[in-house]
Amino acid sequence: QKEVEQDPGPLSVPEGAIVSLNCTYSNSAFQYFMWYRQYSRKGPELLMYTYSSGNKEDGRFTAQVDKSSKYISLFIRDSQPSDSATYLCAMSEYNFNKFYFGSGTKLNVKP
């Protein structure tokens, strides 16, 4: 069993929709939870990260962590065609020395 599971999609939504991207994990020691966005032929770009449980909001993006369920989510409000990319979740334990990545979910936002 992989330590981090992520549905690969693809996920296709109309412009303006609310998008929900999710990951589950098995290691209860994870403390930091990251979301990366990767455009085609580019490197992953850090979108946001949270420590422990709770929510974090940045513009149209909201990250949620539920440690009791070992489940994290990224919500994108008012999705735009420019949000079309692959989204990777990643996790780390007590520092940023080692990272565990999901396989990525490909998102397509249709105009």
Partner 1 sequence: DAEITQSPRHKIIETGRQVTLACHQTWNHNNMFWYRQDLGHGLRLIHYSYGVHDTNKGEVSDGYSVSRSNTEDLPLTLESAASSQTSVYFCASSGREPQHFGDGTRLSIL
Question: Residues interacting with partner 1, by CB under 8 A?
Answer: 32, 34, 36, 41-46, 49, 88, 90, 92, 96-99, 101-104
Strand partners, 38: 86
Q: Which token pair is 18?
A: 């609310």
Q: Give the DSSP per-residue string, 72-96.
A: EEEEESS--GGG-EEEEEEEESSSS
Shortest reach from residue 99's CB to partner 1, in Å: 6
Closer Cβ to partner 1, 82 or 97, answer by number: 97
User: What size, in residues, is the chain?
Assistant: 111
Closer Cβ to partner 1, 25 or 104, answer by number: 104
Shortest reach from residue 14's CB to partner 1, in Å: 27
Closest CA to 108 of 9, 24, 6: 9
Shortest reach from residue 57's CB to partner 1, in Å: 18
- 98: number of CA atoms within 13 Å, CB side? 5
Closer Cβ to partner 1, 18 or 51, answer by number: 51
Three-class SS state of 50: strand
Shortest reach from residue 10's CB to partner 1, in Å: 13
Closer Cβ to partner 1, 43 or 59, answer by number: 43
